[in-house]
A = this chain, B = another copy of it.
């Protein structure tokens, strides 16, 4: 059985969980607090990041991108019209562009700061950087998200799914990222109706249900987080 090291506040780990569920697969899920830099975990991934996927005695697979490509090559390729990367190489590049938008750009401009300041700093001992949140960092991230709402909303308004005609990794990656922020009540849905409508569609998929049951210690989700009609 697969083993996935993850955390409910890791967008890339949420993406892997969605892909596994979409492919009717699962894993043993181990929650990892990366800021603890546990020796056994660092031996699996010297970068100290999530997600990490273990498949028996093979070398650990590291990172949302490498893991999703692996799942495409070993699962997706058998799924025909349910495959989550298009067959056409130009359309695949477009799906991957949007995955990178979510896991790299949105992550580095918004999600990383919100999660660090609002979640991890509450849990980390002060010697590791824990303590009061930096309100300036939170304000900057909240300003940045508006640009992302606009761009992703434009994709949602002009396409059936974010990457094109069919649902793809693009939708799951953006959905995973926004769901982390939505848990924390940090998505200004009123800014973009098209994006909200798209999110309602992706949120209602069975693969999303386990994510809606996620809980972070000492920090309950925003009141609308689990509602399909939010």
Contact = CB atoms under 8 A, between A and B. Distances in A.
Interface string A68-104: 0110011000000000000001101110110011001
A213 interface: no
A66 B100 CA distance: 8
A63 B97 contact: yes
A73 B100 contact: no
B55 A90 contact: yes
Nearest to A147: B46
Contacts of A62: 93, 97, 100
Nearest to A56: B90
Contacts of A67: 93
A61 B93 contact: yes
Contact of A59 (B47, B58, B94): B94
A108 B49 CA distance: 14
Contacts of A59: 90, 93-94
The prevalent SS among residues of A at the interface is helix
Nearest to A90: B58
A150 to B, nearest CB: 10
A56 to B, nearest CB: 10
Nearest to A59: B94
Contact of A92 (B46, B70, B92, B93): B70
Contacts of A47: 101, 105
A73 B91 CA distance: 12
Contacts of A100: 62-63, 65-66
12 contacts: A47-B101, A47-B105, A59-B90, A59-B93, A59-B94, A61-B93, A61-B94, A63-B96, A63-B97, A69-B93, A70-B89, A70-B93
